[in-house]
Amino acid sequence: MSQIVSCGGQELRDMFAAGSSWLEKSVPDINAINVFPVPDGDTGTNMFLTMRSTMEEADRAPLNNVAAVVKAMAQGALMGARGNSGVILSQFFRGLAKGLAEKESITGSDWALALSEASRTAYKGLSQPVEGTMLTVIRDASTAAEVAAQTDPDDLTIVAEAAVEAAKDSVAKTPLLLPVLREAGVVDAGGQGVYILLEGALRYLRGEMEEMQYRSPQMVTADLPLSPTAAELVVEPEEPYGYCTNFLLEGQKLDPDRIRKKMEDKGQSIVVVGDETTVRVHIHTYDPGSVIRYATSLGTLHQLQVQNMDDQHVGFVEMQRGKLPASDIAVVAVASGNGVREVLRSLGAAAVVSGGQTMNPSVQEILQAVESVPSQKVVVLPNNKNIIPTASQVQPLTSKEVAVVPTRTFPQGVAALIAFNYEDSLKQNAQAMEEAIATVKTVEVTNAVRDTRMKGLKVSKGQAIAIVDDEELVAAGDSMAEVVFEALDKAGVESAEVVTMYYGADVEVAQAEQIIQELRNKHPGKQVEMVSGGQPHYGYVVSLE
């Protein structure tokens, strides 16, 4: 892919999908430097999980314009925000949505204005903004983008390059602004995450997607020289940290500014963001009960998390004394079709091996992908029954710990990725992913390559045929659309809540849209989605969940 000078909705989504994947590779490193204001969770994990929710919502948005995509991203970020850093990141996307409202495509000057609005919105969400954090990094990036846009207003990549370079410099200088960072000899973790996210997006604009698969982000180091004791940070706190309390509040006529003001006498590190119906709250408090009672008087609580930061601080101190953080886990998936591969990447796959029906990858190809990811623990999703035995041969060939989850179709792979939890162990994730694939039925529609008869069903060469879960032939006919509907009925579409149709490389968009519209008409109460999978051989692959 050549360098992009302007982009539409699809490119914007793909740009942040790349940034999210780039961020995922840095999660353990970002977590290890999380020292401000207190160790109230893992900054890298919180930012990545927030991005995962952001991208999941973006996948559901119409891709014909920027405004629709970024609005969906802002909603996804708000609903999925984790911890202080995640809530601030949600405000970043809310600001981008404001700055890019009504935009069908964007250039360099549009991006600069959007970053400026993102910075203002992020600052506004905090009751007491602190410099030397991710807020500063976002502001410095936006300022540099504005300057670059004055010279190259039409070139998105040039403006993005200026923003990323400024973000990098800003991260390196965060210890100058925060004594706790200077004492620890590290940069701000949230700022580091912002820089890596923006750098990943920039690499997409530069056409470096393939290179990103085999490389990892470089962490920014502090501009200050380390003192002999700088990296220890093992002193016990003089006073307790209390409880990190997070929740989503839903109600009517909510006032985020009023709620933020009310929270000021209940704790510290307060972030309150949202609108009249949905508000996200993050606060450090010694009395979470009073916070929760006040919030429940205003509406309904969701995603409530209360964490004891004193316990987390002990764990953090032990890590600083020499205990290494737990290794992260990467997911390697096998898939064919550009759209399918991108869906898997957007859901967190660190590497995607090209392959599938008629094109099974070798043990060596899967092994190379496992070795290419920076993690020592790897989940492999074969996404094809013929590839499962091949993937199972990788473990003895690597020093890494590998778990093969036996996905037989790529919709099962999608379900497995959605079930993946970065905070769980390899064994826990493998179990959860196997449970998730049992909840998905896959209908694959292709053309018969020979005459046959199975279970009383006569098939002629060239006819459209449908297979359920890669093993049962359920329908055949001359019309691919009719075969799709017959197969879905036999697969139990009535009991499914979500229907996702991936159309293949040889299918015209208009044909796919016609089927999707008919599906929506037949099943008005269901969530029906259409995705350009680009898969070869199979005109349609439909997931029922």
Architecture of domain 441-544: 2-Layer Sandwich (3.30)
First to last CA, the chain: 34
pLDDT for 4: 75
Amino acid found at 75: Q
The conformational region for residue 102 under phi > 0 = left, psi -120 to 50 = alpha, else beta, is left
Distances (CA, A) of 527 to 96, 158, 304: 27, 39, 27
* Antiparallel, parallel or unpaired: β 540-544 and 498-503: antiparallel
pLDDT for 125: 78
| Helix spans in 265-398 (H) | 288-296, 309-320, 338-346, 363-372, 388-391
pLDDT for 314: 47
Question: What is the residue whose two structure tokens read 């994947």?
Answer: 21
Pick the CATH number of 9-222 from 3.30.1360.120, 1.10.1060.10, 3.20.20.70, 1.25.40.340: 1.25.40.340
Per-position pLDDT tens, the chain of length 545 = 456 777 888 999 999 999 999 999 888 888 877 653 333 347 888 899 889 989 999 988 877 789 999 999 999 988 888 777 888 898 999 999 999 998 999 999 999 999 999 999 999 877 778 899 999 999 999 999 999 999 999 999 999 999 999 999 999 999 888 887 776 677 889 999 999 999 999 999 998 888 787 788 888 887 655 433 333 333 333 344 567 788 888 989 899 888 988 888 888 778 888 888 998 888 888 888 888 888 888 988 888 877 766 554 444 444 444 433 444 789 999 988 888 888 888 788 888 988 766 567 888 889 988 988 888 999 999 998 888 888 888 888 899 999 999 999 889 999 998 888 877 889 999 999 999 999 899 999 988 877 777 777 888 888 889 888 877 888 889 999 899 899 899 888 888 888 888 888 888 888 989 998 998 888 887 888 888 888 888 889 999 88
Rounded to whole angstroms, the Cα distance separating 282 from 270 reads 6
For 265, other C-beta atoms within 10 Å of its C-beta total 7
The phi, psi pair for 227, rounded to 5°, reads -80, 165
Domain chopping of the chain, boundaries: 9-222, 243-318, 329-437, 441-544
| Helix spans in 107-223 (H) | 108-124, 134-151, 156-177, 179-184, 189-205, 209-213
Contact 430, 419 (CB under 8 A): no
Residues constituting the chain: 545
Contact 165, 137 (CB under 8 A): no
Architecture of domain 329-437: 3-Layer(aba) Sandwich (3.40)
Contact 235, 258 (CB under 8 A): no
Cβ-count burial of 25 within 10 angstroms (0-12 exposed, 13-18 middle, 19+ buried)?
buried
Rounded to whole angstroms, the Cα distance separating 199 from 219 reads 11
In the 8-state DSSP scheme, what is residue 251?
-
Rounded to whole angstroms, the Cα distance separating 178 from 187 reads 9
CATH topology for 243-318 is Alpha-Beta Plaits (3.30.70)
pLDDT for 318: 46
Residues 6+ apart with CB under 8 A from 235: none
Rounded to whole angstroms, the Cα distance separating 82 from 303 reads 10
Rounded to whole angstroms, the Cα distance separating 403 from 380 reads 6
pLDDT for 317: 44
Which of these, 347, 481, 486, 482, lies nearest to 411 by C-alpha position? 347
Which of these, 485, 478, 388, 474, lies nearest to 437 by C-alpha position? 388
Rounded to whole angstroms, the Cα distance separating 540 from 513 reads 12
pLDDT for 274: 85
The phi, psi pair for 8, rounded to 5°, reads -105, -165
Q: 134-151 vs 156-177: helix axis angle to the nearest 10?
A: 150
